Amino acid sequence: MKFVVATHNEGKLPEIVTIVEGVLGQRAVDMELVSAGSLGLPDPVETGVTFEENALLKARDVAKRTGLPALADDSGLIVDVMGRAPGILSARWSGSHGDDTANMNLLLAQLSDIPDNKRTARFCCAAALVVPVSGGHGSAKSRADEGVLIREARSGQANSADGCFQETVRLGEMKGVVIRAPRGGHGFGYDPIFVPDDQPADHAVGCVHGDVGAVKGSTRMNMDYDASINRREGVRRRTLPLTSAEMTPEEKNAISHRCKAFTALAPAIGELLRTVQ
């Protein structure tokens, strides 16, 4: 069954594919995931005021244009001291959509005078599934307790039979801190300057000169960094916890906001796959 992932971000698509395959396991063999960008679809204007609204907006636009089930997510970084900013504007914080370096540099400049113990933040993600369905004329129906909406599409051109869609949205978050300089070459967006509270289990974090105790979720910001491997103990010992960009894709996906959101969305995807078998 073909699903269109409503993204033009080349870094996001493989991450979503990996997460969905990991969550669904054997059921994922029945899925073919393609990006909206690869189909030449336009990137819709994100007019929502929440992550949930923007995720549904993007998935709904793709479903209307293709008549296929659509997956989308909207995510961003919320810095506590900045009053929920950058939030839904995370991808275009510097004014240039998708310019990760410019976005990071601006945020770091805005936080330059903020002490280390006030740099708490969290990544938030809303993951949405929108499925064209037939026979849905009439007023909108909702199952709010399940986070599922079935509503009549009243704007735009829909390729589905009647413009009615089943919509499901789920949320996930990853807490941590914003450090003072980028570290790591994996991931995208703000990953190089974000240290998650939850760290991979095989990393012992502590001072390699003296204090060697593990400090899971430490928020120390000093830049003495030692990535040496302690082969005798079989663990990597560091003076600092890892940024999201220093983690392997597998390590990041195990704790990420996006993984949590799509894991919560998985039952709806699995139910859809069962209905077409």
Is the model's pLDDT at 38 over the cut of 50? yes
What's the pLDDT at 11?
Answer: 76
What's the pLDDT at 13?
Answer: 86
CA 88 to chain centre: 12
Euclidean distance between the first and the last CA atom of the chain, given in angstroms as a whole number: 9
- Does residue 228 belong to any structural domain of this protein? no
- Does residue 231 belong to any structural domain of this protein? no
Q: How far apart are alpha carbons 277 and 171 in whole angstroms?
A: 28
Cβ neighbours of residue 249 closer than 8 Å, sequence gap 6 or more: 15, 18, 186, 187
- Does residue 212 belong to any structural domain of this protein? no
Q: Is the pTM of this model over 0.85?
A: no
- Does residue 143 belong to any structural domain of this protein? yes
Percent of the chain with pLDDT over 90: 59
Domain housing 193:
2-200+242-275
- Does residue 213 belong to any structural domain of this protein? no
Cβ neighbours of residue 131 closer than 8 Å, sequence gap 6 or more: 63, 69, 70, 165, 166, 167, 272
Which of the residues are catalytic? 74
Task: Using the CB atoms, write b or e for 145-167: b if 16+ within 10 Å.
Answer: eebebbbebeeeebebeebbbbb
Mean pLDDT, residues 130-159 taken together? 46
Number of Cβ within 10 Å of residue 29's Cβ equals 10
Nearest to 55 by CA among 167, 132, 173, 131: 167
Q: At what angle do helices 12-24 and 257-275 cross, to 10 degrees?
A: 60
Residues annotated within a binding site for substrate? 7-12, 75, 188-191, 252, 257-258
Number of Cβ within 10 Å of residue 205's Cβ equals 22
Q: Which two tokens stand for residue 118?
A: 């006030």
SS3 label, residue 101: helix
Residues annotated within a binding site for Mg(2+)? 74
Domain of 189, CATH number, reads: 3.90.950.10
- Does residue 234 belong to any structural domain of this protein? no
224-266 pLDDT per residue, tens:
334 433 333 444 555 689 999 999 989 998 999 999 999 999 9
- Does residue 271 belong to any structural domain of this protein? yes
Count the domains in the chain. Answer: 1
54-102 pLDDT per residue, tens:
999 999 999 999 999 999 999 999 999 999 999 999 999 999 777 999 9
- Does residue 236 belong to any structural domain of this protein? no
What's the pLDDT at 107?
Answer: 98
